[in-house]
Structure 1
Amino acid sequence: MPVPVTELARLFPLDSLRQETRDHLAREAVVSEYQRHENVFEAGDLDEDTIYLLDGELRCDYPDGRSVAHVANAPHGRYPLNDAVPRRFTAKAVSARAKVMRVDRRYLEKVITWDQLSRDDNYRHFAPGPGGNDWVFRLLRSQAFARLPTGNIEKMFQLFEPVTVKPSEVVMREGDPADYFYVVRSGTASVSKYLDGAPQVVAYLREGDTFGEDALLSNLPRNATVRMMQGGQLMRLSRDAFEAVLKPPMLSWVLPADAARQVQAGAVLLDVRMPEEHAQRAIDGSINIPLYRLREDIGNAVAPGARLVVYCNTGERSAAAAFVLKRMGYEVSALHGGLGAMLRMMAGRSPTAA
């Protein structure tokens, strides 16, 4: 159900945002209706949403027996329901119907932060024209940036360097050493790789898409060529800036024992080394998709949104794979120490160990 932008203009702190920002949030928000006695959430729930009541009345029941009313058209109705997680109370609809709006909490914080930072007179990357900031909203919505600390956003935008590019210009070439991380601010580009002995276009990029991170994360040469189709502007971060601002929070490392527990709980163990390496020695039960084929083949092997644990020999390629997979919507961790660490842990178990 779409959200009227006028609804956002009366809510706190959305009322303080630019109209452009509210327009975008209205497209991202999700509205649901609840009937009397239905729970919007329960005490102890671990959801990822900021929740506003747009219409109707809820009763908030605390475990200690207290109850508080939350009424949409009351003065307090413009504020979100308490954002504490786990939820501290159960919210139940007590009106005939209740209309509720949900916005991803982390994304909302990032958008509010950017909206405020970009008001500074010295801010370099705000575009006042229609659609000029769409690349920012799309970048912040990327799954790969979901757990980027809000404090890192200011650093990232401060360190961005704008680069003007022309149609047909090659921005990076397969096999070259890694130097920059890029975001498409305007224009479009194609991504090609040598597959089966010939270059093949494997993806297209538009405003808000990123590229160049694979080689920076894996410390390997570029694994694709990016050529501009339409001219425009790119925003780039140097290797040092990328290492300082983006790399640490974007990667979720897991130790071998925790990786084993995740796999036992249903996570898919993914080996991103070359097939020859996998055939020589691998962890039992793992599936193999080499890093350079990951974007093309993962959908045929693993269901969207699945939990993954990725590994390679040392962790370098796993880091790049984790970033790629997060951007595609998978929940993923990289095995710290790689294959060697897992084999050492397995070798150290006693025969009777579980």
Structure 2
Amino acid sequence: MNKLLPPDLLHRLIPLNTLSPRYLQEIRHQLVPRALAAGEVLCDKQTPSGLSYFLLSGVLSLQTPEGERRLVAGSSESWHMLVSGARLSRACALDDVSVLCIDSEQLDRLVSWQHANADLLLELATAGELTDWLETLLENPLFAKVPPANIRDMLGRLEAIDMPAGQVLLREGEAGDCCYFLKSGRAEVMIGLGSAGQVVAELEVGACFGEEALLTDGPRNATVTLIEDACVLKLARENFVSLLKAPVVDELSLEQANALIEQGAQWLDVRLLEEYEQGHAPQALTMPLHLLRLKARLLKQDRLYVCYCDSGKRSASAVFLLTQLGFSAYPLQGGLDGLSAEDYATLLCERGHGYLARSGGRTERSG
């Protein structure tokens, strides 16, 4: 029987190592190493797309547009994920190997949300707000489906209400017109009515409840009662529905982006530094999404910026943040994953530490 991936190995794999324990829990069933014998094919042109691979042990032969090369487990290159497709047409085991196979879209979504939420928490903490309840709330699986830009908007629509112990917030069988978040205090969840009622759970700070009736448009399936004095945050149905809708962001094709770059716009790479160092656009500034709020003060307000990442999710969040801060920015349509192998190689032609933004909007080569 296969065993779960050892934590010390997991901490090396980029960008898996940036996910919180809660997000890792979402993909726990995928964190089981798969063994391949020498000569066995991991992926080729016939393999369905949508998987990312991490090499844990052994040696793989990789067929790319540039030719054939070897990937050896334990090397810094092997810590990065492999994605089958235009940039990797075939991967074959040269000896006995061990790999992880993870759903690419799910991984990218979790990484994007993790980094965007980190920026949000930083913003609130900088403003002097206590964020323990929000940190817990953002670990709720519901919020893995919410565009990060919408969470900021949601915080402005919450109605804070102080309530005493014993207050019933939801009653089983009633229609749902709102949901609640528990900012302080505790509550208990009971199913069944009258003498048949049974307490099935206790809710603590950061809990979200009442959302299921909004998602299904059905009646409440439980009764929730405060067992301590509490502060609850109420979100009306119409605001909850809009919370789940992705904001519209104007995107640029590679041709449009290159035209703007020639006119003086600047590439911003919002991936992790380790991903940036593997290959980045010419003179692209490294601006990881989770650090963007801190580093944005080094950018120029009168310059146009074009953001890119793997799928476009992180860059869409970056553009939303930059726009709020008064900058003009656009994301690359479809991200790097949407480029052909030729366009990818042409765009990400520089390697190493690359370029950093300095005060006054200066760009400095760091190595």
**TM-score if structure 1 supplies the norm length?**
0.50
